[in-house]
Amino acid sequence: MITIKTKKEIETMRQGGKKLAQIMKKLQKEVAPGIKTIDLEKLAQDEIKKAGALPSFLGYGGFPSVLCTSINEEIVHGVPSERILKQGDIISLDLGLIWKGFHADMAKTFAVGEIDFETKRLLKVTKKVLKIAINKVKPLNTFGDIGNTIQRYVESQGFNVVRELCGHGIGKELHEDPQVFNFGKRKTGPVLKEGMVFCIEPMVTIGDFKVQKKGQFTYKTVDNSLSCHFEHMVAVTEQGSKILTEI
């Protein structure tokens, strides 16, 4: 069942989302060659605590960290470790927190130092398609419209969208109905209604869109091609969309 949030609840989620976006901005400044992903984890822990919030991911399904750090071919759920970031890597940081009983969730992919042209294009396309998808968020459109929009744009740029992972509803639970796919057919799936809140998170690959598990938690591309991930938490309003995870 898709829950409808009140304006007061959405405002609470907006407060949490703003805190989350501020933390993400601090993490971004630390991304550089020579940094260990565990150092980003420690910073995220400290900043969530300073914000007066709680981590969403720690312990969720047994996940051992507050931050997901997915590098290069890793798509999502990379576990922070002693691994050192190298010049030319890309890293997706996915972070969630709980504020006044409601979850907030977002992700961004960053370049580690200088990256090549095609990798820059991957990041640019994924970031842009998230924006395009958010523009589809308005009452009476469907979740199929969102997925179809993402898939068509990504494939027009010569990249692929991951099929086996998706966005999700969010609120008092981290993952709520519905699933928000990055592919689909127009005018299919649930109809968007004012008060729905969900995460749109295109996951885009340079190569094959198929995934496989790497260890207990991490998903990676089957062909080790680069993968990029951007995510915003969005509310459906009478006028259209409202991004809740920005400063």
Which residue ranges make up each domain of the chain? 7-243
* pLDDT over 90, % of the chain: 100
Q: What pLDDT is stored for residue 99 in this prediction?
A: 98
Q: Are the CB atoms for 102 and 13 separated by under 8 Å?
A: yes
What single DSSP character describes residue 184?
A: -
Q: Is 190 exposed, middle or buried (0-12, 13-18, 19+ CB in 10 A)?
A: middle
**Residue labelled with tokens 């993490």:** 27
Specify the CATH superfamily of domain 7-243: Creatinase/methionine aminopeptidase superfamily (3.90.230.10)
Q: What pLDDT is stored for residue 60 in this prediction?
A: 98
Give the model confidence (pLDDT) of 20-31 as tens digits: 999 999 999 999
* pLDDT over 70, % of the chain: 100
Spatial distance between the Cα atoms of 28 and 169, rounded to a whole number of angstroms: 26
pLDDT grade, residue 53 (50/70/90)? very high
Beta bridge partners of 18: none
Q: What pLDDT is stored for residue 230 in this prediction?
A: 98
Give the model confidence (pLDDT) of 3-24 as tens digits: 999 999 999 999 999 999 999 9
Give the model confidence (pLDDT) of 210-245 as tens digits: 999 999 999 999 999 999 999 999 999 999 999 999
Give the model confidence (pLDDT) of 110-147 as tens digits: 999 999 999 999 999 999 999 999 999 999 999 999 99
Report, in angstroms and rounded to the nearest whole number, the Rg of the chain calculated over CA atoms.
17
Q: What pLDDT is stored for residue 159 in this prediction?
A: 98
